């Protein structure tokens, strides 16, 4: 059921070209929260290269954030880049934003789980939501901050308390799982990974990451032992990067790429492009977990339709079943933090 739907997820990044987006409109205001960090800087650089963005606001708590904005502003692309720093400037950075991307927070280090990041990063997401509820409640928001499975519920609960919740506008960016699935499947099958599209559902950590390889385009198949090994690699790819960097950080560059891809999808939807479809972790009743990642049809006002999971293989049904308890616990942790 996804043959037509998921193809629009594929985008081409033209690093030396004039733009990343095919849209002819150039009137979008985008804010990056955490713009001076390991994800935020390359993400901001990618966003600057889009002709579809008029204003790009870069916010972080560190003092050199205006310097990052100044540096990126020297690139010969149209978007006006402005830097903001410190809690006192958070609302100004967010004011009237149409798209907000949040990679803010501390990164994972060797031995850390996403849950270990919770106390620090939960406060970051709460504070951004409080400010956004006041100055840009209608923005389409993409949350990268880990643990995504808990941080998206935090953002939604804060907006609910403020009387500004529209769950169709709030997304947990799980795009990196799709990017990794495409890369790994392409490598395994000798395919150009840009032509591979595999939906990934569930959540954005460990066993909650469920690649639907049976729905991959082009169609691929693996012997069961190889399928299980590939699935585990997709689920644990973040740890693979953390270990490979040997204490120097987590996935930043690939996450920036994935975050930019999702931001451009939101902008294309805002500009009226039809059939914009991406997987994301959102408030959902698909599996009775309150939040769940699945393919979504996105329009001017956010989610137009949750496309669900489609037909699952027996193995994928087992993976979804294993993900449910973890997801429910993650969601409960996020909601408890706000209460």
| Lowest-confidence segment of 14-23, 172-181, 207-216 by average pLDDT | 14-23
Q: What is the pLDDT at residue 146?
A: 92
Please give the residue that has the higher pLDDT: either 12 or 163.
163
- Asked if the model's pLDDT at residue 45 lies above 50, the reply is yes
Average pLDDT over residues 276-301: 97
Do residues 327 and 179 both lie within one domain? yes
Task: With respect to residue 257, please indicate whether it lies within any of the assigned structural domains.
Answer: yes
The residue written with tokens 């059921």 in the block is 1
Average pLDDT over residues 46-75: 97
Q: How many CA atoms lie within 13 A of 72 on its CB side?
A: 30
The residue written with tokens 């501390």 in the block is 106
- Longest Cα–Cα distance of the chain, Å, equals 56
Instruction: Examine the fold and report which residue of 172, 195, 213 is the final residue of a domain before the chain moves on.
Output: 172
Whole-angstrom distance, CA of residue 46 vs CA of residue 23: 16
Whole-angstrom distance, CA of residue 322 vs CA of residue 319: 5
Contact 332, 339 (CB under 8 A): no
- Asked if the model's pLDDT at residue 122 lies above 80, the reply is yes
Whole-angstrom distance, CA of residue 339 vs CA of residue 332: 10
Dump strand ranges (E) for the chain: 28-33, 53-60, 80-85, 99-102, 140-143, 170-172, 200-202, 209-211, 276-284, 290-299, 302-306
User: Which residues are marked as active site?
Assistant: 204
Q: What is the pLDDT at residue 112?
A: 66
| Lowest-confidence segment of 3-12, 24-33, 100-109 by average pLDDT | 3-12
- Which domain does 232 fall in, by range? 175-338
Average pLDDT over residues 90-116: 85
> Crossing angle of helices 224-235/314-338, nearest 10°?
20
Whole-angstrom distance, CA of residue 263 vs CA of residue 269: 10
Do residues 197 and 268 both lie within one domain? yes
The 10s digit of each residue's pLDDT in 248-269 is 888 999 999 999 999 999 999 9
Do residues 327 and 212 both lie within one domain? yes
Residues 6+ apart with CB under 8 A from 20: 11, 13, 14, 46, 49, 50, 51, 52, 260, 264
Do residues 196 and 248 both lie within one domain? yes
Do residues 133 and 42 both lie within one domain? yes
Question: pLDDT-based confidence at 114, cuts 50/70/90?
Answer: low
Question: pLDDT-based confidence at 119, cuts 50/70/90?
Answer: confident
Instruction: Examine the fold and report which residue of 155, 172, 189 is the final residue of a domain before the chain moves on.
Output: 172
Instruction: Examine the fold and report which residue of 149, 172, 195 is the final residue of a domain before the chain moves on.
Output: 172
Number of structural domains found in the chain: 2
- Asked if the model's pLDDT at residue 104 lies above 90, the reply is yes
Do residues 45 and 160 both lie within one domain? yes
| 3-state secondary structure (DSSP) of residue 55 | strand
Whole-angstrom distance, CA of residue 23 vs CA of residue 320: 36
Do residues 192 and 150 both lie within one domain? no
Provide the percentage of residues in the chain whose pLDDT is more than 70: 90
Contact 213, 222 (CB under 8 A): yes
DSSP 89: G
Average pLDDT, the chain: 91
Question: pLDDT-based confidence at 120, cuts 50/70/90?
Answer: confident
The residue written with tokens 């489609």 in the block is 310
Question: pLDDT-based confidence at 130, cuts 50/70/90?
Answer: very high
Do residues 191 and 330 both lie within one domain? yes
Give the C-alpha distances (Å, rounded to integers) separating 226 from 189, 202, 207: 12, 21, 17
Q: What is the pLDDT at residue 21?
A: 41
Do residues 108 and 185 both lie within one domain? no
State the DSSP string of 3-16: TTTSGGG-----TT
Question: pLDDT-based confidence at 98, cuts 50/70/90?
Answer: very high
Whole-angstrom distance, CA of residue 135 vs CA of residue 157: 17
The residue written with tokens 């809690």 in the block is 87
Contact 323, 308 (CB under 8 A): no
- Asked if the model's pLDDT at residue 131 lies above 70, the reply is yes
Torsion 184-10-128-63 (CA) sign: positive
Q: What is the pLDDT at residue 12?
A: 40
């Amino acid at each position: 059921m996804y043959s037509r739907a998921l193809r629009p997820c594929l985008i081409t990044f033209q690093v030396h070209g004039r733009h990343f987006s095919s849209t002819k409109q150039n009137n979008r205001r985008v804010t990056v929260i955490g713009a001076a960090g390991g994800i935020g800087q390359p993400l901001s650089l990618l966003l600057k290269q889009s002709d579809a963005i008029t204003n790009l606001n870069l916010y972080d708590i560190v003092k050199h954030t205006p310097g990052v904005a100044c540096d990126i502003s020297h690139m010969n692309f149209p978007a006006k880049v402005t830097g903001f720093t410190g809690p006192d400037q958070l609302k100004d950075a967010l004011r009237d934003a149409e798209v907000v991307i949040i990679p803010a927070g501390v990164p994972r280090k060797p031995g850390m789980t996403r849950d270990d990041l919770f106390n620090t990063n939960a406060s970051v997401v709460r504070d951004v939501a409080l400010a956004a509820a006041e100055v840009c409640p209608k923005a389409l928001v993409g949350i990268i901050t880990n643990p995504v499975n808990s941080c998206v519920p935090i953002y939604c609960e804060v907006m609910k308390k403020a009387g500004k919740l529209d769950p169709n506008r709030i997304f947990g960016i799980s795009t990196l799982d799709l990017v990794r699935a495409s890369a790994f499947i392409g490598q395994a099958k000798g395919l150009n990974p840009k032509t591979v599209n595999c939906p990934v559902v569930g959540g954005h950590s460990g066993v909650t990451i469920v690649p639907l390889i049976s729905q991959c385009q082009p169609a691929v198949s693996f012997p069961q032992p190889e399928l299980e090994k590939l699935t585990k690699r997709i689920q644990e790819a973040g740890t693979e990067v953390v270990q490979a960097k040997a204490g120097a950080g987590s996935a930043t560059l690939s996450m920036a790429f994935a975050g930019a891809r999702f931001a451009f999808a939101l902008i294309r939807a805002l500009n009226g492009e039809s059939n914009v479809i991406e997987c994301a972790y959102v408030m959902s009743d698909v599996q009775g977990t309150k939040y769940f990642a699945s393919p979504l049809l996105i329009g001017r006002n956010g989610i137009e339709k949750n496309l669900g999971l489609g037909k699952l293989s027996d193995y994928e049904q087992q993976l979804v079943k294993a993900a449910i308890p973890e997801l429910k616990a993650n969601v409960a942790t996020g909601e408890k933090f706000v209460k």
